[in-house]
């Protein structure tokens, strides 16, 4: 059984069968490592995972030119991977994922399934969009708390736990990286529709309204304080269209343009963190 490292034979050729989980990096194929390109090119079948993250359209076109033809794999294919795993018993199969593939629990489950079926499983890491966001922000990585995702609201259902986690980080003087949902349906079947900053703001405010009876100083007057929270908006990171803008959360919610966004809510600033935050204001 594989230990998870990408393998060559001594001749320089790839193993005859197995499933390779290949990280593409965040949004621009130039972030792919040489090993990732070689592994994808050497595969007999290539899938591009299309629901936990997405590539810009021009990069999707370039992917076929770089590594060969590929098929899109949505939630059903990845979470019920029997066909993919059976194929990997006799062929080289690659599942290409934007960013770092082991960031998603779905892909960890895929590794376990392969091990249970006796299928060799290899991981080729990619640059993570989440780690890149922290680096670009100018904030200290050790001062970040739990990462949060703002989900789309499904009918009347909207969990308030993401906002509770943000407030919990603030209570511990920790910054929060906030990812925005890609799937309004929650099914992972249709093409992703990234949440906009405006939608994220209204969703967080709706959460705040549902927490208005929560006890504790950090929850007092939450609806009135949230619009004034310091915020960094990071759009299309890792691509040629990358943009960082800082300001209050309400100001950030009005920023137009861009495709895929995430936020950082800073806690108190230390050292040069304030300078980094103010510098991004100059880019508005």
Does a structural domain hold residue 200? yes
Clarify whether residues 107 and 141 are in a common domain.
no
Please say which residue of 127, 156, 180 terminates a domain.
127
Question: What is residue 143's DSSP assignment?
Answer: G
Does a structural domain hold residue 202? yes
Domain with residue 59: its CATH number is: 3.40.1010.10
Please say which residue of 127, 146, 180 terminates a domain.
127
State the chain's mean pLDDT as an integer.
89
Exposure string of 179-204, with b = 16+ CB inside 10 Å and e = fewer, is bbbbbbeeebeeebebbbbebbbebb
Residue predicted with more confidence, 212 or 171? 171
Q: Give 145-159 pLDDT, tens digit per residue.
A: 999 999 999 888 999
Distance CA 72, CA 105 (A): 19
Quote the pLDDT of residue 255: 93
Does a structural domain hold residue 105? yes
Distance CA 91, CA 11 (A): 18
Clarify whether residues 65 and 191 are in a common domain.
no
∠ at Cα 107 (43, 97), nearest 5°? Answer: 50
Q: Give 18-32 pLDDT, tens digit per residue.
A: 999 999 999 899 999
pTM: 0.86
Mean pLDDT of 40-49: 95
Mean pLDDT of 67-75: 93
Q: For 181-195, 245-259, 270-284, which range has the lowest pLDDT when averaged over its residues?
A: 181-195
Q: Give 189-228 pLDDT, tens digit per residue.
A: 677 789 999 999 999 999 999 887 776 767 778 899 999 9
Residue 232 phi/psi, 5° resolution?
Answer: -115, 125
C-beta of residue 261 within 8 angstroms of C-beta of residue 180: yes
The range of the structural domain enclosing residue 39 comes to: 18-127
Distance CA 46, CA 70 (A): 5
For the cut 60, the answer to whether the pLDDT of residue 180 exceeds it is yes
Does a structural domain hold residue 10? no
Helix axes 197-210, 161-171, angle to 10 degrees: 80
Quote the pLDDT of residue 32: 95
Long-range contacts of 219-225 (CB under 8 A, 24+ apart): 219/167, 222/163, 222/167
Clarify whether residues 121 and 139 are in a common domain.
no
Quote the pLDDT of residue 44: 95
pLDDT-based confidence at residue 1 (cuts at 50, 70, 90): very low
Q: Which of 201, 195, 206, 144 is nearest to 170 (CA)?
A: 144
> CB neighbours of 68 closer than 8 A, spacing ≥ 6?
40, 41, 43, 46
C-beta of residue 56 within 8 angstroms of C-beta of residue 27: yes
Percent of the chain topping pLDDT 70: 92
> CB neighbours of 280 closer than 8 A, spacing ≥ 6?
138, 232, 244, 245, 246
Clarify whether residues 161 and 273 are in a common domain.
yes
Number of domains in the chain: 2
Q: Give 49-58 pLDDT, tens digit per residue.
A: 988 888 888 8
Quote the pLDDT of residue 166: 97
Q: For 8-12, 67-71, 232-236, 257-261, which range has the lowest pLDDT when averaged over its residues?
A: 8-12
Quote the pLDDT of residue 5: 52
Domain with residue 223: its CATH number is: 3.30.950.10
Clarify whether residues 113 and 210 are in a common domain.
no
Quote the pLDDT of residue 10: 32
Clarify whether residues 23 and 151 are in a common domain.
no
Quote the pLDDT of residue 13: 65
For the residues of 194-214, what is the DSSP string, one character each? PPPHHHHHHHHHHHHHHTTT-
Quote the pLDDT of residue 12: 43
Q: Which of 134, 19, 170 is nearest to 86 (CA)?
A: 19
Percent of the chain topping pLDDT 90: 67
């Amino acid at each position: 059984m594989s230990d998870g490292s990408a393998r060559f034979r001594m001749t320089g050729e790839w193993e005859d069968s197995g499933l390779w989980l290949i990280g593409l990096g965040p949004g621009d194929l130039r972030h792919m490592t040489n090993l990732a390109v070689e592994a994808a090119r050497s595969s007999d079948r290539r899938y591009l995972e299309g629901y936990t993250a997405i590539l810009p359209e021009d990069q999707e076109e370039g992917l076929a030119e770089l590594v060969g033809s590929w098929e899109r794999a949505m939630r059903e294919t990845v979470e019920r991977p029997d066909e993919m795993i059976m194929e990997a018993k006799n062929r080289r199969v690659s599942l290409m994922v934007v960013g770092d593939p082991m960031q998603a629990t779905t892909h960890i489950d895929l590794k376990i399934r392969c091990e249970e079926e006796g299928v060799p499983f290899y991981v080729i890491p990619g640059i993570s969009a989440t780690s890149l966001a922290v680096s670009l922000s100018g904030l200290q990585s050790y001062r970040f708390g739990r990462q949060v995702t703002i989900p789309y609201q499904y009918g009347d259902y909207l969990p308030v736990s993401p906002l509770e986690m943000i407030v919990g980080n603030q209570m511990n003087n920790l910054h929060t990286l906030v990812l925005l949902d890609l799937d309004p349906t929650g099914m992972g079947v249709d093409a992703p529709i990234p949440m906009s900053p405006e939608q994220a703001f209204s969703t967080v405010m709706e959460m705040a309204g549902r927490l208005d009876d929560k006890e504790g100083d950090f929850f007092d007057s939450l609806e009135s304080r949230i619009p004034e929270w310091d915020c960094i908006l990071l759009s299309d990171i890792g691509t040629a269209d990358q943009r960082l803008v800082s300001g209050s959360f309400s100001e950030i919610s009005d920023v137009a343009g861009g495709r895929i966004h995430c936020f950082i809510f800073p806690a108190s600033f230390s050292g040069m963190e304030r300078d980094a935050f103010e510098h991004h204001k100059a880019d508005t």
